[in-house]
Amino acid sequence: MEGGLKAWGILLSIVLGVVSNWKQWARGSSPQVPCLFIFGDSVFDNGNNLALDTDVTVDYLPYGVDFPYGSTGRCSNGVNIADAIADLLGFEDYILPFGKGNCREFMGGVNYASGGSGILNTTGYLLGQRYTMDLQLYNHKIIASRIAKELGGADVANKYLGQCIYVVEIGYNDYLNNYYGEGYNSSKIYTPEQFAQLLVQTYETQLERLYNEGARKVAVFGLIRMGCMPAYKNIFGADESSCVDKLNQAAQLFNNKLQKALPKLNASLPGAIFTYINSYEIDSENVTGLGFKFTSTSCCHVPNGEIPCAALTYPCPNRDEHVYWDGAHYTEARARIFAKRAYQRQLPVEAYPYDISGLVKVPLDETDDHCSTWAINNGD
């Protein structure tokens, strides 16, 4: 009996081995970069919030209805934009959430994104626990030190971390669950201009911290047209054919400042390569010709005034024809097309100075040995 099981086990592992090799052939080759690190909010979250005490978890059907592992905490019927980017970069598996996986799996990258989180610490606090951007960076510091341990030193770890791609999107909740959210006071303290300034300034220091942990190739995503998200059109009373102006204006104000901050950061941080993904522009693409028939309504059933799908309700059957899955997040179909543009822009305005495929190819600055600052600080 036991022998039989063992034989089965061996046979099974041979079969699985063949299958996984075959999968690798089918995908072509190994990933284009050794690692991918993902930061952000619910747009990129792939399960981080499951471990937290929060209202922002989507671990129930119909979420994940088209995902091979079902409901995993992704705000989508299937994959999200971060998953689609991992796919385009040639990663065989999805990048795991922080704290998941075995003791070496973080070598290929980690997804730190957390639904409800923002640039500011107070953002989203009425929703419960979340990994704010500062906490995501703290989690990344832990991973970076484990990578250093794995590779046998900070120097070699920094070289490794410099080859990775970093994708970062955040800021939606600073507006939707802070400035324009009920129960928050920032709109009484700041004008929209001042608030955008505060956000981008804070974001700059956060991106600098990422650089200090070895990041060099960083794709920073701007905000899409928040005012055209079905739930917010409903909540703020925009009609079917229009969007919420003040939310779209806030996104543009933020984007303009962010887009100007990146070349400044690039110039002040030796060897850094920050690139801007123009999400607003990509989101504005006319997708009617790409098979999307429903651009401003949710696919799943979203109760009035809410954002997530109601649990255990039937979603629309024609999910590939919908831009929006729930009240605020794309369907897998839209996420994949969005990711494609970020990876390989169709127009220069969609990503600059590089798209993600270009970012992969930029040679790293050989003179940037990560230790020069330390040496200068020591005065020798």
- Active-site residue set: 42, 326, 329
- Shortest distance, CB of residue 36 to ligand NAG, whole angstroms? 20
Q: How far is the CB of 241 from ligand NAG (least distance, A)?
A: 11
Nearer to ligand NAG, 179 or 324 (CB): 179
Name the residue nearer to ligand NAG (CB basis): 128 or 263. Answer: 263
Q: How far is the CB of 132 from ligand NAG (least distance, A)?
A: 6
State the maximum Cα–Cα separation within the chain, in Å, rounded to a whole number.
73
- Distance of closest approach, residue 354 Cβ to ligand NAG, in angstroms: 7
Nearer Cβ to ligand NAG, position 60 or 190?
A: 190
Which H, E and C letters describe the chain, residue by residue?
A: CHHHHHHHHHHHHHHHHHHHHHHHHHHCCCCCCCCEEEECCCCCCECHHHHCCECCCCCCCCCCCCCCCCCCCECCCCCCHHHHHHHHCCCCCCCCECCCCCCCHHHHCCECCCCCCCCCCCCCHHHECCCCHHHHHHHHHHHHHHHHHHHCCHHHHHHHHHHCEEEEECCHHHHHHHHCCCCCCHHHHCCHHHHHHHHHHHHHHHHHHHHHCCCCEEEEECCCCHHHCHHHHHHCCCCCCCCCHHHHHHHHHHHHHHHHHHHHHHHHCCCCEEEEECHHHHHHCCCHHHCCCEEEEECCCCCCCCCCCCCCCCCCCCHHHEEECCCCCECHHHHHHHHHHHHCCCCHHHEECCCHHHHHHCCCCCCCCCCHHHHHHCCC
List the structure tokens of 150.
């794995």
- Is the Cβ of residue 267 or residue 364 nearer to ligand NAG in the bound state? 267
Residue 349 structure tokens: 């305005």
CB of 314 to ligand NAG, least distance (A): 29
Nearer to ligand NAG, 80 or 139 (CB): 139
CA Rg value for the chain: 21
Within 10 angstroms of residue 11's Cβ, the number of other Cβ atoms is 10
CA dihedral 186, 277, 324, 310 (to 10 degrees): -50
Q: Which residue is nearest to ligand NAG (CB)?
A: 289
CB of 279 to ligand NAG, least distance (A): 18
Looking at this protein, which amino acid is placed at residue 138? Y
CB of 317 to ligand NAG, least distance (A): 23
Q: Which residues bind ligand NAG (CB under 6 A)?
A: 121-122, 134-135, 185, 189, 263, 266-267, 273, 286, 288-289, 353
- Measured from the CB atom, the residue of 134 and 306 that comes closer to ligand NAG is 134
Nearer to ligand NAG, 94 or 354 (CB): 354
